[in-house]
């Protein structure tokens, strides 16, 4: 069996960083990354980007050395992706914040509202309902992060956790402040409005969860396979007939429901910002699907049936 | 759009802050329109823009007189602080009138369950000058060093 030699150069300054000899032909990029870490321990595998061309795309961890277009002496270029943090850690942190922060406002913890309101309770039913819905939403997200989602990537850049937490925690505090305020005004159309909005919220939460489960079932544990998602027996998944990312569709729907229920402008703004971001993600995902699969269903739109 | 090499983000930011000063402060609060600070920033902006656009025009025509390049990367040393002072003084002058009239502000309770205090917002804007202004100013100083010394070297080799 012929062994390979692998040299790793810095992609920017072309300096030789590492030379590996006697590398097995069926070694994967992941294994090469591990070998590289031995000589440069500060660059753990998650922050390594190895590529065949200094300006090219990163090679995947699963790529096998002998299947790459290289001679028996392979030259790989290295780029430092910066400090990394696991997706799971980021998700748990960014979702635990809103759960906790909202409750601080709900229980009217001191120094938020005037002292005469400390630890008092709202007399509006909708305020209690909103707390249940908001808390349920984030508990659901935390549980899904722990038990449902199968992430394609292990890590993301460290700075994302600050960005993401500012967004989630900031908006949670902002909307919680108004909903739980002693001067909160309940919805104009009263119980009818609340009931309708609650129905929308619940349906969309169930829908969102159904999609997460369907996506999970597409991918065996520990793998990174990608397949076209299709409707299942669960009626909530039938939205796949019309959109590529019904999980985002349902998520927007949930927040619109919550906005109508609370009749609170900051909630509407949060829904709008979230919708904008999810549309960008949905369009990206839709484009990837189209590129990867020739037979991708043509009727589907990224996030809103027929429209967007 | 690629016609000049400036960053879209930085330029949009500057345009937005200018529009804000004009519409949301000077136009909205009539009482500050006779302040000297308004004259200060209008003069600073006017001179800056005349030089900046001459710079872009000549650059595109591939005939940039050194004087224009020098002016663009030197006069800002005085014009920038001048403009910022004018802006801050104008916002500061507007504060009591904003507070009195409750301008652009909404308080609880209301059916949108939302509140906004324009007075507090203006104070936050003023505070934001503290981190933002030095960054922009030293970026220009850095650019100056890079671009003006580059020209000197070119001249040496002629």
3-state secondary structure of B94: helix
Q: A180-206, pLDDT tens digit by residue?
A: 999 999 999 999 999 999 999 999 999
The residues of B carrying an active-site annotation are 80, 87
Rounded Cα distance, A62 and A54, in Å = 20
- Taking alpha carbons only, the member of A112, A105, A110 closest to residue A130 is A105
Q: What is the pLDDT along chain B (158 residues), one digit of tens a residue?
A: 777 777 787 788 888 889 999 999 999 999 999 999 999 999 999 999 999 899 889 988 888 888 888 998 899 999 999 999 999 999 999 999 999 999 999 999 999 999 999 999 999 999 999 998 898 888 889 888 888 887 666 655 54
Domain limits of chain A?
4-82, 86-185, 187-307
Q: Which of B108, B111, B112 lies at the smallest CB-CB distance from A181?
A: B108
- A123 in B contact zone (CB under 8 Å): no
Average pLDDT score over chain A: 92
Residues paired with residue A77 on neighbouring β-strands, in sequence order: A9, A51
pLDDT at B158: 47
Q: Residue A280, CB half-sphere, CA atoms under 13 Å: how many?
A: 5
Q: Is the dihedral of CA A265, A268, A269, A270 positive or negative?
A: positive
| Number of CB atoms found within 10 A of residue B123's CB | 14
Burial class (CB in 10 A: 0-12, 13-18, 19+), A194: buried
pLDDT at B155: 58
The number of residues in chain A equals 308
What is the phi/psi pair of residue A176, to 5°? -65, -35
The stretch A10-25 carries a mean pLDDT of: 86
Q: Do A263 and B108 touch (CB under 8 A)?
A: no
Contacts of A188 in chain B (CB under 8 A): 111
Rounded Cα distance, A182 and A294, in Å = 57
Contacts of A178 in chain B (CB under 8 A): 108, 113-115
The stretch A1-27 carries a mean pLDDT of: 85
Instruction: Please tell me what DSSP assigns to residue A302.
Output: S
Give me the helices (H) in chain A, please.
Answer: 29-39, 87-106, 125-147, 159-179, 190-218, 246-262, 265-292
Q: Do B109 and A184 touch (CB under 8 A)?
A: yes
Region of poorest pLDDT, from A15-19, A41-45, A184-188, A225-229: A225-229
Min distance B116 CA to chain A CA atoms (Å): 11
pLDDT at A189: 95
Min distance A114 CA to chain B CA atoms (Å): 14
Q: Which residues of B lie closer than 8 Å to A, measured between beta carbons?
A: 108-115
Rounded Cα distance, B113 and A190, in Å = 15
SS (H, E, C) A251-291: HHHHHHHHHHHHCCHHHHHHHHHHHHHHHHHHHHHHHHHHH
Interface size, chain A vs chain B, as Cβ–Cβ contacts under 8 Å? 29
pLDDT at B7: 76
pLDDT at A65: 84
Q: Answer whether 0.80 is exceeded by the pTM.
A: yes
- A179 in B contact zone (CB under 8 Å): yes
Instruction: Judge whether residue A291 has pLDDT over 50.
Output: yes
Burial class (CB in 10 A: 0-12, 13-18, 19+), B158: exposed
Q: Which of A179, A181, A265 lies at the smallest CB-CB distance from B112?
A: A265
SS (H, E, C) B4-57: CCCCHHHHHHHHHHHHHHHHHHHHCCHHHCCCHHHHHHHHHHHHHHHHHHHHHH
Q: A140-174, pLDDT tens digit by residue?
A: 999 999 999 888 778 899 999 999 999 999 999 99
The stretch A262-283 carries a mean pLDDT of: 96
Placement of tokens 């330029």 in the chain: B11
Q: A96-123, pLDDT tens digit by residue?
A: 999 999 999 999 999 999 899 999 999 9
CATH placement of domain A4-82: 3.10.20.90
Highest mean pLDDT among A50-59, A242-251, B13-22, B145-154: A242-251
Q: Do B113 and A188 touch (CB under 8 A)?
A: no
Residues paired with residue A156 on neighbouring β-strands, in sequence order: A85
């Amino acid at each position: 069996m012929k062994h390979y030699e692998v040299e790793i150069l810095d992609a920017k300054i072309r300096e030789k960083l590492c030379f590996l000899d006697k590398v097995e032909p069926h070694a994967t990029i992941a294994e090469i990354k591990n070998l590289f870490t031995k000589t440069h321990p500060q660059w753990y595998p998650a922050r390594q980007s190895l590529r065949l061309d200094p300006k090219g795309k990163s090679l995947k961890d699963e790529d096998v050395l002998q299947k790459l277009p290289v001679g028996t002496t392979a030259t790989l270029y290295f780029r430092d992706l910066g400090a990394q943090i696991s997706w799971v850690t980021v998700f748990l942190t960014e979702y635990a914040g809103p759960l906790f922060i909202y409750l601080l406002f709900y229980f009217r913890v001191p120094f938020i509202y005037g002292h005469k309101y400390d630890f008092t309770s709202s007399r509006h039913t909708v305020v209690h309902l909103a707390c249940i819905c908001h808390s349920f939403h984030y508990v659901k997200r935390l549980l899904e992060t722990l038990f449902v989602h199968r992430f394609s990537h292990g890590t993301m850049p460290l700075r994302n956790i600050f960005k993401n937490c500012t967004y989630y925690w900031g908006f949670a505090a902002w909307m919680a402040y108004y909903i739980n305020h002693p001067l909160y005004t309940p919805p104009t159309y009263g119980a009818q409005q609340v009931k309708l909005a609650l129905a929308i919220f619940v349906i969309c939460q169930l829908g969102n969860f159904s999609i997460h489960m369907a996506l999970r079932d597409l991918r065996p544990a520990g793998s990174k396979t990608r397949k076209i998602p299709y409707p299942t027996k669960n009626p909530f998944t039938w939205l796949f007939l019309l959109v590529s990312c019904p999980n985002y569709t349902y998520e927007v729907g949930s927040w619109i429901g919550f906005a109508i229920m609370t009749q609170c402008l900051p909630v509407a703004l949060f829904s709008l910002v979230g919708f904008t971001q999810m549309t960008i993600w949905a369009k990206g995902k839709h484009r990837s699907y189209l590129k990867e699969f020739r037979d991708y269903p043509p009727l589907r739109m990224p996030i809103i049936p027929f429209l967007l | 759009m690629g016609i000049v090499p400036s960053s879209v983000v930085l330029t949009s930011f500057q345009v937005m802050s200018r529009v804000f000063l004009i519409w949301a402060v000077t136009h909205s609060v009539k009482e500050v329109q006779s302040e000297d600070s308004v004259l200060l920033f209008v003069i600073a902006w006017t001179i800056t823009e005349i030089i900046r656009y001459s710079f872009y025009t000549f650059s595109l025509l591939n005939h940039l007189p050194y004087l224009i390049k020098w002016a663009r990367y030197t006069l800002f040393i005085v014009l920038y602080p001048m403009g910022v002072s004018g802006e801050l003084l104008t916002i500061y002058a507007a504060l009591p009138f904003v507070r009195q009239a409750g301008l652009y502000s909404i308080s609880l309770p209301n059916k949108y369950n939302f509140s906004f205090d324009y007075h507090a917002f203006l104070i936050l804007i003023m505070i934001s000058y503290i981190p933002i202004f030095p960054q922009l100013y030293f970026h220009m100083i850095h650019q100056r060093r890079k671009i003006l010394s580059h020209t000197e070297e070119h001249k040496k080799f002629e």
